[in-house]
Amino acid sequence: MAMFKYVMKRIGLMLVVFIISSIISFTMIRLLVPDFEPVEGGIEMNIEQARRAAMGLDRPIPVQLYRYVRRAVFDRDLGSSWHINKMMDVTEVIGRRLPPTMLLSIYSMFISIPIGILLGIWAAVKKNKPTDHIISVGSMLFISVPSFVVAFFMQYFMGFRLGWFPIVASSLHEADGSWLSMTMTHSLIMPVLALSFGGIAGFARATRAELTEALTSDYMLLARTKGLTHASAIRRHALRNSMVPIFPGILGTFMGIFAGSIIIETIFAIGGMGPITLQAINTLDYDVFQASTMFYLIIGLTSGIIIDMSYGFVDPRIRMGER
């Protein structure tokens, strides 16, 4: 019952944050001044005025917000794109750009989680030895360096100098219309690695810290006195306890990768959510920007609730919502 009340409370707070953040993004994008202003009295000015009147953009922002909410709630209409895909429904625009972003994030997670945890375990077992120092320094380096800096270095050395991978991702036409083709997968290796290094470093550092503490605990001494080997004690006791704070961080890492892909997709010319979000800001494509912002908000807020609930699944002793 306490867990149910806690979840309902979190959902209520999530809705409040979602509404406030959506209103802020709705207002801020409409306060931006367009880069291109048609000549007063010209044909382009008349077309622009007619377009803004048809879309209700000549009205005060509170009126625009009211109309948008009413249309979204009752008509399930999030608007249409005016610049990115002219007059195309926003949900279709997002639907076309979502697969590469999700694919990039999933690939990065599949690399980050196992490699990061294994490196952390290796560093903890080899504590204060050269292996531990190398892994720790590498982790600090890749945590400190932004993913887009890593991406630029990889583009220059692995793409331009060595020619191992294409500098930009392949298009759907080049990949025979499939995001899962070998051509597309090969072209996504560099952006996936650029996104993965930060996650690998984070998991390695966290796993090393938690496992090092677990290895020096009293229950490990008790496990050894009961006759368990060092490897068996680590596997059955130390790893299990050290993973309690690690596993809930998986969703947090996914959100970090998901957000970081906005820049990485732009660098490698991947037609995902990142480029259209930036393009929507530059071209003031209001409905596309609003829809993409709400999409990221929903993913982030939902992940927060799932992370909190996952503590109880990892360790049954933890009861969220109870004192």
Mean pLDDT of all residues in 213-224:
68
Between CA 44 and CA 49 the distance in angstroms is 9
Residue 246 has pLDDT above 80, yes or no: no
pLDDT value of position 222:
67
Residue 177 has pLDDT above 80, yes or no: no
Residue 35 has pLDDT above 80, yes or no: no
pTM above 0.85, yes or no: no
Mean pLDDT of all residues in 212-221:
70
pLDDT value of position 265:
84
- What number does CATH give the domain 94-314? 1.10.3720.10
Contacts within 8 Å (CB) and 24+ apart, 127-136 = 127/212, 127/215, 132/208, 135/204, 135/208, 136/205, 136/208
The domain spans of the chain are 2-74, 94-314
For 268-296, what is each residue's pLDDT tens digit? 888 788 888 888 888 888 888 888 888 88
Largest Cα separation within the chain, whole Å, is 90
Of the two residues 308 and 107, the one the predictor is more confident about is: 107
Mean pLDDT of all residues in 188-217:
83
pLDDT value of position 179:
67
The pLDDT confidence band at residue 20, using thresholds 50, 70 and 90, is: very high
Residue 42 has pLDDT above 60, yes or no: no
Closest-CA residue to 302 (of 95, 9, 10): 10
> Average model confidence (pLDDT) for the chain?
78
Of the two residues 226 and 150, the one the predictor is more confident about is: 150
